[in-house]
A = this chain, B = another copy of it.
């Protein structure tokens, strides 16, 4: 079995989160430059909001924040920015929550798997290529040509396991 890597560990405890955000924004900046994409003020701000905590953010929560910024903002404002960030590989959508998280490994192509804590909502992103390949292979056995995978696991993170 190939080793899995952890693209984004749980970060429920205290850590220098400003640093997380700064790093994510800097990586996004350079990823966009490399790909010739326009990392505008709005997109940057939306990404910053997605990264504001290590939990999935809802589109309308982001919208509320934008409005608090004093910016004229309506649903399309945030959905368009999110679509851009998704296409650019800078955020992931959590289908089972209708919410968005920052990508733990922008630039490095990967098929992420997500662990989501029911209690505190914290999310971790792992990259287990062996699992992704096994799924693709099983699908192939049925004549199915897989192109994308959604893998989301719910449960309790270690911190919440203790207190539960």
In this complex, the member of A138, A146, A158 whose beta carbon has the largest number of chain B beta carbons within 10 angstroms is A138
Which residues in B have their C-beta under 8 angstroms from that of A148?
A: 153-155
Please report the C-alpha to C-alpha distance between residue A144 and residue B161 in the assembled complex, in whole angstroms: 8
Contacting A152 at CB < 8 Å: which of B130, B144, B149? B149
Known: A151-B149, A156-B144. A128 touches B124 (CB 8 A): no
Please report the C-alpha to C-alpha distance between residue A25 and residue B113 in the assembled complex, in whole angstroms: 35
Which residues in B have their C-beta under 8 angstroms from that of A143?
A: 10, 157-158, 161
Can you offer 11 A-B residue contacts whose CB atoms are under 8 A? Answer: A10-B144, A115-B139, A115-B144, A115-B146, A124-B142, A143-B157, A143-B161, A144-B153, A146-B155, A147-B155, A148-B155
